[in-house]
Structure 1
Amino acid sequence: MSSNSGIKGIRQVRRKKSSLSEVKIVVLGAPGVGKTALTVRFLTKRYIGEYDHQSDSRYKHEIMVDGDPVIFEICDTCTKTTHDLPSADLLTWADGLVLVYSITDRSSFTYLKQVFNHIQEVKGSHSKDKDMPMVILGNKGDMVHLRQVSSEEGEILSKDYDCNFFEVAAADQVTEVADAFHELFREVNATRRKNKTSLLDRVLGTKSGNRVYHRGKSDSSLAKFQ
């Protein structure tokens, strides 16, 4: 009796584990805008101001969003110059993007426009059945005395790119940074639901002879990392 109960309990745990939502996010931005500080602040609530990365860093962590556990896989890119652009493979892997600039560095704001144009080119040459949810973060909001980019400019850019915008300070804000990542996850979920409905419509269209649906290759997945 107790043995059966134990087995049932294990099965319930495994079922709960397998039902966890997962999201893959890539953090992009010019050198020195605070990409890693924002990522670490979100995942651990801690702030570390100085980093010396020579390559992209990848993290995997479970975070509660709207009362439910979500596994976040985050690729924190190591941009060495403003000529560096994300690879097509990385953009294909991602479910969503965090585009970061520093309010104290206008060139980092301009760099985001370059990145966005590159993303559009990649999406055009690598057809996908979904949009790319994004959020724009204007970091270093605590350094307003050095501001080079206004909040209004960030808002206008987000409207042009049809995404959310947050002005934050990784140095002293926890909730605001988390809100930005949470909102991106909600956008990813909304896109997934839309694409699932679109897929169902195409499949049903195929069966009725009205439309033809060609299955594409599934997104490649990165190896698990801690």
Structure 2
Amino acid sequence: MDEFLHRGTKDINLIILGSPGVGKSAIMVRYLTKRFIGDYHPLLETVSSHSTVVDGRQITVHIRDTAWQGIDSSERENYLVWADGIVMVYSIIDRESFETCKELTDKVLHLCDDSTPITLIGNKNDMLHMRQVKLEEGAAFCRNRNLLFAEVSAGESYESVEQALTSLVREVRHACKRNKEKIKEKTDSTHKIGIRQSLRNFTERRLQLRHRTSTL
């Protein structure tokens, strides 16, 4: 992880989480290369980078496809610290993967910074005849937790995947901007308090000096 900890200001780190077999790696490869590859090692962890333009700005996106189930809690916390944004993936044709994703999302929300944007993605929406999770269910879950939401088909549509991840990247940029403004406001406030305290100390010293002088 160290090679990505000291990144540039225009770099964004994303991690992809979800049950095995829901298409996490397929989504990542679609976004990075526009190609679809169906076979992946379920426990193989990879980090890939992608240069893109969002709202007229050149951005490098680093995506970590994690073997979340195979790592301990301390390593998971390191991933969440590393991540600027989180992609949660389930399969719309697998009810159990959706329930697992909801549980995992709530755990991550408990662990990570409230300002870390999260998007929930329902994959395989090209298999509507096999759907087990309704569109409204995913949308409602995200609405209640203020998350981004999308349904995509990594197997058939680059555009749907690109739109979902670009929306997350855009939200990460907005979150970073809000955080910088909060830090600036806090710094300005602290600075103003310091000035007021200095003026108060100066005034008190002058009054003490005048009092001593008047008594001489």
Residue 40 of structure 1 aligns to a residue whose secondary structure is: helix
Q: What amino acid is the match of 2:159? A: T
Listed one character per residue, the Cα deviations across residues 61-80 of structure 1 (whole Å, up to 9, x for unaligned) are: 21232343210100011245
- Aligned residue pairs: how many? 187
**TM-score, normalisation: structure 2:** 0.80
From 101, 107, 119, give the equivalent of 1:112: 101
- Distance, in Å, in 2 between the alignment partners of 1:20 and 1:62 is 14
From 79, 83, 100, give the equivalent of 1:90: 79
From 22, 36, 41, give the equivalent of 2:30: 41
Equivalent runs, 1:10-49 vs 2, <5 Å: 21-49=10-38
Whether contact under 8 Å (1:26, 1:94) holds in the other structure is yes
- Distance, in Å, in 2 between the alignment partners of 1:204 and 1:160 is 34
Equivalent runs, 1:167-178 vs 2, <5 Å: 167-178=151-162
- Structure 1 residue aligned with 2:4: none
Listed one character per residue, the Cα deviations across residues 91-141 of structure 1 (whole Å, up to 9, x for unaligned) are: 111000111100011111111221122113323xxxx5x611011110000
**1:19–1:87: structure 2 CA closer, same or farther, 3 Å change rule?**
closer
Residue 60 of structure 2 aligns to a residue whose secondary structure is: strand
**TM-score, normalisation: structure 1:** 0.76
From 115, 119, 127, give the equivalent of 1:131: 115
Q: Point out where structure 1 has 5 or more consecutive residues left out of the alignment.
A: 1-17, 211-226
Whether contact under 8 Å (1:43, 1:63) holds in the other structure is no
Alpha-carbon shift at residue 184 of structure 1 (Å): 0.4
Q: Does 1:200 align with 2:169?
A: no
- Distance, in Å, in 2 between the alignment partners of 1:193 and 1:49 is 37
Q: What amino acid is the match of 2:162? A: A
From 143, 152, 157, give the equivalent of 1:159: 143
Structure with larger Rg? 2
- Distance, in Å, in 2 between the alignment partners of 1:157 and 1:54 is 27
Structure number with the higher helix fraction is 2
- Structure 2 residue aligned with 1:13: none
Whether contact under 8 Å (1:20, 1:71) holds in the other structure is no
Q: Does 1:189 align with 2:178?
A: no
Aligned-residue sequence identity (percent) comes to: 35
Q: Does 1:57 align with 2:53?
A: no
Whether contact under 8 Å (1:31, 1:80) holds in the other structure is no
- Structure 2 residue aligned with 1:142: 126
